[in-house]
Structure 1
Amino acid sequence: MTTPEFILDIRATAGNRLLLLPSVTAVVFDDRGRVLLGRRTDNGQWALVGGIAEPGEQPALTAVREVYEETAVRCVPERVILVQMLKPITYPNGDVCQFQDITFRCRATGGEARVNDSESLEVAWFAVDALPPLERFALHRIDLALRDEPTWFEAPEETEGLEEMAE
């Protein structure tokens, strides 16, 4: 995965320390109800399309941009289905990142699904009842995107953090 230039600039002074980064995931459906997936070059696994927001970029635009950059598919975000702070990740070079993910349900509006950058080995549409092996991350988001429910988020424990807020 290519590291955005603005992150390289931050790393020049922050070193490997934890960076909190805004990210998006796009669950894109076509008019046949199939979901768009890419097989990643870094681990060979099928995954949803996603990426890091550029400075000043609205999350919905990040979803549209990432889908097009990676798959050549045009899409329109329909709704936010999930907001979640992910666990910190330590990369092989020692860099530590924590992503705040906003997942969008999107509708494909054009383009032909194909590998459109160096981040994917393959790109394809899959029927939701015939998905390739996917991590829980993707399965959970696809499941939520298929429902007509409010945005999902992890609710805080009833007393978690209340002591600090009261002071």
Structure 2
Amino acid sequence: MTGYMKEMRKFVGHRTIIQCAASIICVDDNGKILLGRRNDNHMLGYSGGSVEIDEYVEDCAKRELFEEMGIIAKELEFFCVNSGPEAHYIYPNGDEVSNFEIVYLCRKWTGNPNSNDGEMDELRFYDPKEIDINQISPPIKKVVADYINKFGK
């Protein structure tokens, strides 16, 4: 954790914080999505993270995609907003968040999947039909399920 959220945790400890986040579901030419195994909860997830002060949401999403997955986004397409009780999460370290996450799809990108910041391992593209929703990190299960329902049939 860096930046704004790290500073806020100094004041509030593990108590619930509203976390404004930006994320990208990276899609290949075959409709497969890039997921990685998170090192904190060992579940699968797409790239994403907290927006820094005065950072454009789109820039945050692109930054997180590069940091966590080594991919450079060329174009973003709005997909959804993930919020509410399903997006509430307690991290393994005890930090609690109520997520307000803006999720984009990225179909035009460059690079090879590679974790630049060590937050994820086992990066690979998954066919939506092969994704076990029970292996998806809890606060993003609804988003992945919505993607599968919309594009995975």
Q: TM-score, normalised by structure 1?
A: 0.73
Aligned counterpart, 2:110: 110
Deviation of residue 24 (structure 1)?
1.9
Report the AA paired with residue 44 of structure 2.
Answer: W
Runs (5+) with no aligned partner, structure 1: 148-167
Contact 2:128 2:148 in 1 (8 A): no
Structure 2 CA distance for partners of 1:145 and 1:70, relative to 1, 3 Å: farther
Aligned counterpart, 2:80: 82
Deviation of residue 50 (structure 1)?
1.4
- CA distances 1:114-146 after superposition (whole Å, capped 9, x unpaired): 222211121111223333554333532423663
Deviation of residue 92 (structure 1)?
4.9
Moved more, 22-31 or 138-147: 138-147
Contact 2:47 2:64 in 1 (8 A): yes
Aligned counterpart, 2:9: 11
Structure 2 CA distance for partners of 1:104 and 1:77, relative to 1, 3 Å: farther
Structure 2 CA distance for partners of 1:52 and 1:144, relative to 1, 3 Å: farther
Matches within 5 A, 1:9-158: 9-87=7-85, 88-131=88-131, 134-135=135-136, 136-143=141-148, 146=151
Percent identity reads: 25
Deviation of residue 93 (structure 1)?
4.7
Aligned counterpart, 1:161: none
The CA RMSD over aligned residues, in Å, is 2.4
Report the AA paired with residue 130 of structure 1.
Answer: E
| Higher Rg of the two aligned structures | 1
- CA distances 1:60-86 after superposition (whole Å, capped 9, x unpaired): 111111111111111134321111324
Q: Separation in 2 of the partners of 1:113 and 1:15?
A: 34
Structure 2 CA distance for partners of 1:92 and 1:112, relative to 1, 3 Å: closer
Count of aligned pairs: 145
Q: Separation in 2 of the partners of 1:15 and 1:66?
A: 24
Report the AA paired with residue 131 of structure 2.
Answer: L
Contact 2:23 2:65 in 1 (8 A): no
Contact 1:24 1:52 in 2 (8 A): yes
Structure 2 CA distance for partners of 1:92 and 1:46, relative to 1, 3 Å: closer
Contact 1:81 1:144 in 2 (8 A): no
Q: TM-score, normalised by structure 2?
A: 0.79
